[in-house]
Amino acid sequence: MIEVSHLSKFFGTRAAVNDLTFEVQSGEIVGFLGPNGAGKSTTMKILTAFMPASAGTAKICGYDVFDHPMEVKKNIGFLPENPPVYPEMSIQDYIDFAARLHQVPRSKIAQAVAHVIEKTGLGDVRRRLIGNLSKGYRQRVGLAQALVHNPKVLILDEPTVGLDPQQIIAIRELIKSLKTDHTVILSSHILPEVTATCQRIIVINRGKIVAEDTIDHLSVRMKKGLIYSMELKSPHVEGVNAIRQLKGLGSITQTGSKLTIEIKAGNEEVRDLIVEAAVNHKMGVLDFSAEKMSLEEIFLELTTVEKAS
Amino acid sequence: MSLINAWNIARRDFRSYFTSPIAYIIIAGFMTIMGWMFFFSLSHFSLQNMQYQQYNMGKGVSISEGIIRPLYANMNFIFLFLLPFVTMRLFAEEKKLHTIELLMTSPVKLWDIVFGKFLSSFLLLAVMLGLTCVYPLVLFATGNPEFGTIFTSFLGTLLLASCYLSLGIFFSSLTENQIVAGALTFASGLFFWLITWATQSAGPYWSEILSYLSLLSHYNNFSQGLIDTSDVFFYFSFITLGLFLTHRVLDSYRWR
């Protein structure tokens, strides 16, 4: 559905997007993840034929975005970073306008408009002027606009930004429900966003792909070390030092009665020795548990490693 | 270019003139000034003619000469001030609100967008000019004006004002600041008026070129009741050039 190969975009000498290559299959929901300014929006603008690439190609539904922009535009629904809404229009009129722009057949306009308004939960406010609505509603109007012509590919730039938690859940459910007959690519700089909706994520930083995998695979791949935390009743210097002496450990930090211990990969058996040392020195073990590396940390790891190199 | 797409865009823009206060303020301002001018030129005209009759000075000034010509000349001048307010938002606001992204990622050609924008402002202009038809109606009801002069003045004004629209759309496409777009439109519109001043001091060769470029000099024939195809051609070329340049600007917007 979406094929991107060696895509680059330069603004002057600065590369906003640098040699991106990825593919999105039909019916997939792919998350585009990266910190602010990583090149997510630029990539999306290229995919929607809004902006040409400096190098490389991008194809949507088999059409090159540069050679056949009209065909591409017919097949996509795009929600830009700022919802492109006219404040002086009512929601109903605006969606109607979007449907006409996308050449929805005249006889089907009313039905299509009513359908997306209902789908995005805008029924109660559909006669209100967009300018009087909150950011969350505008975001939903933007989404309704992207959906009204029932496009094959949906490109959503930060679809849930500015929404309250309840609305976020509603939008996520909506996006998931689109999976059956749409291909979705959405960007975010917030991880839970991507984990909640996407099957696959592409982590991008400074215009380059730093990781591309399913969420499960990614967390396994990143398991370089394990972090354990140990809660002690009466920690003392002697005992803590004894733990520090053990082999196969990374950094150990003590905050009050809590020790945070990093165990290097492949040294899992050292856990016995840690507990043993604590018991031997009568520090009173209250709790000893693994701290799972969250996606947030994986993300940070991936993007900071890149920065250091 | 697809007329349906252009019409969809024009329809939205035209409606938004009326859902915001813009159209009402501009139309009200325009009609107030025009009404004021019409009333005083009418009373001046009747006073003058009365004096002519009283002192037996022969045939007075004709209605065309005394009322219609100054009426439309003044109208052109007022359009020079008012129309920048009509066109300044057309692209500048779209850029500011990022709604240009909706237009540019929809399956419509750039020409559809440009022509749609022009059409929306042209429709508003048509409404304004349509309302001024009450003045000729008053004249027809009370006197015997020449229809031809009224018709050609009307047509000339429509074409001249359309040139301001085209100019305004071009400047609106250059910036996302409406004030900048409006100011540039007014300044350059005025320049194309005052260009005739330079013809007096320029040599014979240049004066001809400069006077050809003046928007105003092409209006003269219309005000005399003449339609010269070269004037019509000039106005059409001017409008097309403005829209063409707008198209180029929008195209380059994609490349930035």
- Contacts of residue A85 in chain B, CB cutoff 8 Å? 97, 99
A–B: how many Cβ contacts below 8 A?
66
Question: Residue A81 — very low, low, confident or very high, per pLDDT cuts 50/70/90?
Answer: confident
Q: What is the pLDDT along chain B (256 residues), one digit of tens a residue?
A: 788 999 999 999 999 999 989 999 999 999 999 999 999 988 988 888 888 878 877 667 788 888 889 999 999 999 999 999 999 999 999 999 999 999 999 999 999 999 999 999 999 999 999 999 999 999 899 888 889 999 999 999 999 999 999 999 999 999 999 999 999 999 999 998 888 787 777 778 888 888 888 888 899 899 988 999 999 999 999 999 999 999 999 988 776 6
Q: Beta strands A258-264 and A14-24: pairing type? A: unpaired
What number is the average pLDDT over the span A140-164?
89
Task: Kindly state the average pLDDT of the residues A101-110.
Answer: 92
Closest-CA residue of B relative to A68 is B107
pLDDT digits (tens, 9 = 90+) for A164-213: 888 888 888 888 888 778 899 999 877 777 777 888 888 888 888 877 87
Report yes or no for ipTM above 0.85.
yes
**Residues A198-209 pLDDT 10s:** 888 888 888 888
pLDDT band for position A240 (50/70/90)?
A: confident
Asked if the C-beta of A88 comes within 8 angstroms of chain B's C-beta atoms, the answer is yes
Q: Considering only CA atoms, which of A96, A92, A116 is closest in space to residue A104?
A: A96
Q: What phi-psi label fits residue A103: left (phi over 0), alpha (psi between -120 and 50 degrees) or beta?
A: left
CB-based contact A89 B97, cutoff 8 Å: no
B46 touching A (Cβ < 8 Å): no
Most A CBs within 10 Å: which of B20, B89, B105, B117, as the mutation test of the A interface?
A: B105
Report which of A154, A224, A221, A212 is spatially closest to residue A186, judged by C-alpha positions: A154
Both structure tokens of B83? 């129309």
Cβ distance B103 to A101 less than 8 Å, yes or no, reads: yes
Q: Given a cut of 60, is residue A128 above it in pLDDT?
A: yes
Minimum-distance CB partner of B107 among A70, A84, A89 = A70
Count the Cβ atoms, other than its own, within 10 Å of residue B181: 26
Q: What is the mean pLDDT of chain A?
A: 84
CB atoms within 10 A of CB A295: 19
Instruction: Give the pTM.
Output: 0.83
Quickly state the pLDDT bin for A265 (edges 50, 70, 90): low
- Nearest residue of chain A to residue B15 (CA atoms): A89
DSSP E strands in A222-282: the ranges are 225-232, 249-255, 258-264
Taking contacts as CB-CB distances below 8 angstroms, the residues of chain A near B20 are 88
CA closest to A79 among chain B residues: B102
**H/E segment holding residue B240:** helix B229-255
Q: Distance between CA atoms of B75 and B35, rounded to whole angstroms? A: 11
Q: Band of the pLDDT at A306, cuts 50, 70, 90?
A: very low
User: Which residue, among B102, B109, B112, would best test binding to A if mutated, counting the most A CBs under 10 Å from its CB?
Assistant: B102
Neighbours of B243 (CB within 10 A): 20
Range A78-106 average pLDDT: 93
Please check whether residue A102 touches B, CB under 8 A: yes
Compare CB distances from B16 to A74, A89, A145 and report the shortest one's residue: A89
Residue A307: pLDDT band by 50, 70, 90 thresholds? very low
| CA pair distance A155, B11, nearest whole angstrom | 27
Q: Is the pLDDT of residue A221 over 70?
A: no
Nearest CA to CA, how far is A100 from chain B (Å)? 7
- Residue recorded with tokens 């939008």: A171
DSSP per residue, B139-157: HHHHS---HHHHHHHHHHH
Binary contact (B105, A88; C-beta < 8 A): no
* Highest mean pLDDT out of A18-32, A295-309, B225-239: B225-239
Least CA distance to B253: which residue of chain A? A51
Q: Is A201 on the interface with B (CB under 8 A)?
A: no
Query: Quick check: A136 and A58 in contact, CB under 8 A?
Result: no
Q: Which residues of A touch B8 (CB under 8 A)?
A: 97, 100-101
* CA A288/CA A295 separation, integer angstroms: 22
Question: Would you place residue A111 in the very low, low, confident or very high pLDDT band (cuts 50, 70, 90)?
Answer: very high
Interface check for B19 against chain A (CB to CB < 8 A): the answer is yes
- Looking at residues A230-251, what average pLDDT do you find? 83
Listed in sequence order, the residues at least 6 apart from B213 whose beta carbon sits closer than 8 Å to its beta carbon are B192, B195
Q: Choose the mutation target among A61, A72, A88 for the interface with B, i.e. most B CBs under 10 Å.
A: A88
Least confidently predicted of A126-135, A168-177, A293-302:
A293-302
